[in-house]
Each structure stands twice: as C-alpha cells, then as structure tokens.
Amino acid sequence: MTANLLAELLAPAAADMAAVNALVEQRLHSTVPTIDQLSGYIIHSGGKRLRPVMAVLAARACGYSGDQHCLLAAIVEFIHTATLLHDDVVDESELRRGRATANSRFGNGLSVLVGDFLYSRSFQMMVELGSKAVMDVLATATNQISEGEVLQYLNRRNVNATPEQCLAIARSKTATLFEAAARCGALLAGQGTGVQDALGDYGLHFGLAYQLVDDLLDYRGDAARIGKNLGDDLAEGSPTLPLAYALQRADPQQAQMLRAALDAAEPDFAAVLAVIESTGAIAYTAGLAQTHAERAEAALSGLPESPARAALQGLARFAVSRDF
C-alpha cells in the first residue's frame, strides 16, 4: 500500500489530524531553543502518526463530538516520540524514516534529555485533559512500554530466544500504546467497559500485526521504502520472531550459524535470510500477523457503521498489506 492510498484510507481523520498537528507544534515549544530544535527534528521526520490517528478514529467511531480527542492524540504522539528518542540511543541507530536519527545528529545525551522533556510534557497535557481514567490507562501503558524496552535489551544476543518471548516484547513495546490510544478514545466518548475493551482489543491486535510486519520488513523490505537499513535488528543482536522461529526449526548446522550471527559484529545477512526462508519463518510470521489483523477487525463488529469505523477496519488491513 502506498502513502497516497494510506492518506485516502485515513481521510475521515484528516481534519482532526490537522488540529492534532497544530497542537503538537504548539506544545513542542520550550524556552530552551535546543529542545525546540531537537524535538521538532524528530516530530517532523515523516512518521505515519498511526497512534494519534487511532485515538482520533476510536473516539469518532464511538460518536464523540467534542475536541478533547485532539489533545489525547497529541499526548499519545508525544509519548511515542519520547520512546523513539530513547530507543535509538539504546540501539545506537543511525537511520530512522530515511534520515539520520536525532542521536546521530545531536548526540545521545541531548536525545535522552529531550525524550524526558516529551514524556513530562505529555503528562502535563494529561492533567489538562482532566480525566483520571485516561491518565490511568496512559500511565500504565507508559510503564509497560518501558518494561518492553528493558526486556528487549535483556534479550539481545539471546540465542535461546523463543517466539513467545518475542511476542511478549512486541506486545509491551509496540502494541501497548496502540491499545491505550484506542481504549482512551472510547473512554473520552463516555463508552462503557464493553466498548472500551473491544477497542482496546482492536488496538492490541493491530499493534501486534503491525510489529510482526515490521519484523518481516527488516528481512524482506525495501530499505528506501522502510527508511532504515535491512537487517538492523540482526545487527543489533535483537532476535525478533522470524529469527526465533527459525532457531527452533533449523537443523544443527543452520542453528549454529544463526547463533553465531546473533553474536557477530557484522553478521552474514544473506545467509541468515536463506535459513529464515527455508525454515518457513517468513510464512509463519506473515500468517500470525494476518491472524492478529483479522482479530483486530473482528473487535469492531459491535460498533455502528461510520466513516471512522471503516477507517479503523482499513487500518487493520493496512497493517499486513504495507511495504513501508
């Protein structure tokens, strides 16, 4: 799916997202010019804005007619951006969304500190939103994301990593914020626990499908399209689900090569990819992503038909059809 097709899919959220983007610009401001410069650099780096879009669409799909969902969406975007800044420092990444990461341009120290600024600004905005229930969900999600980052770090170079461990990391690190964004949209609209849970399930399964496709694109994507180098996860020693699955099904010689690659400074990417393909890991991961996308779409069945619900359904399909 191309960027233009994604824009068409998200047309029902276009006006709201224009308001969200204006709010993000406003709330990025700091009396410290360097904070403005660095945070603006990462915010304007061309992301899809799917997490704030999910908050907006979830609220609209629940019949919300106010404007606080835009503040909620901006909060979600600030939390996500803070995690990106910290994640790139930990991973020593040099490329994100097709250009230099903030840490490679401004340094690790400033990237961490501006990430902290964005986290703290998001909590200021939560207080402004004035919903304890929303704050509870987002505070819990932020904590779970941090746990997922720690688990991923501890799992580096883990030659015994299992698919279950990789899924647990994907859930905490990626799916949690999607789940929180969708659930908070329902909360803001005054929906009961049934609808909140349904939209939370939608966000959770969407997030898992999205992360699994990310894992696939790291092996099978187009570097120019995905905006980062192929094999980055492998080079960082991160055993994502395709590699963990292959490790369980490889013959002894293949498994030895995969373990060595996880510990190598410059792994043989082509050789690793050949084993991943031969063990069926690509097909397995793609199938699991499709299952989660279908579960996400099914979670919307109780909502009334609307342009926002249709956009959420389309997003679930986008999660597994995309190539960027």
pTM: 0.94
Mention the CATH class of domain 3-321.
mainly alpha
Token pair for residue 255? Answer: 């498994």
Spatial distance between the Cα atoms of 324 and 319, rounded to a whole number of angstroms:
10
- Nearest alpha carbon to residue 207 among 240, 164, 167: 167
Token pair for residue 296? Answer: 């996400």
Burial class (CB in 10 A: 0-12, 13-18, 19+), 270: exposed
Spatial distance between the Cα atoms of 156 and 170, rounded to a whole number of angstroms:
14
Spatial distance between the Cα atoms of 68 and 79, rounded to a whole number of angstroms:
17
Q: What is the 3-state secondary structure (H, E, C) of the chain?
A: CCHHHHHHHCHHHHHHHHHHHHHHHHHCCCCCHHHHHHHHHHHCCCCCCHHHHHHHHHHHHCCCCCCHHHHHHHHHHHHHHHHHHHHHHHHCCCEECCEECHHHHHCHHHHHHHHHHHHHHHHHHHHHHCCHHHHHHHHHHHHHHHHHHHHHHHCCCCCCCCHHHHHHHHHHHHHHHHHHHHHHHHHHCCCCHHHHHHHHHHHHHHHHHHHHHHHHHHHHCCHHHHCCCCCHHHHCCCCCHHHHHHHHHCCHHHHHHHHHHHCCCCCCHHHHHHHHHHCCHHHHHHHHHHHHHHHHHHCCCCCCCCHHHHHHHHHHHHHHHCCC
Residue 95 β-bridge partners: 100
Tens-digit pLDDT string for the chain (324 aa): 667 889 999 999 999 999 999 999 999 999 999 999 999 898 888 789 999 999 999 999 999 999 999 999 999 999 999 999 999 999 888 877 678 899 999 999 999 999 999 999 999 999 999 999 999 999 999 999 999 999 999 999 999 999 999 999 999 999 999 999 999 999 999 999 999 999 999 999 999 999 999 999 999 877 667 767 788 899 989 999 999 999 999 999 999 999 999 999 899 999 999 999 999 999 999 999 999 999 999 999 999 999 999 999 999 999 999 988
- Which pLDDT belongs to residue 226? 75
Spatial distance between the Cα atoms of 40 and 21, rounded to a whole number of angstroms:
12
One-letter amino acid of 17:
M
Contact status, residue 155 vs residue 239, Cβ threshold 8 Å: yes
- Nearest alpha carbon to residue 77 among 109, 33, 42: 42
Residue 96 β-bridge partners: 99
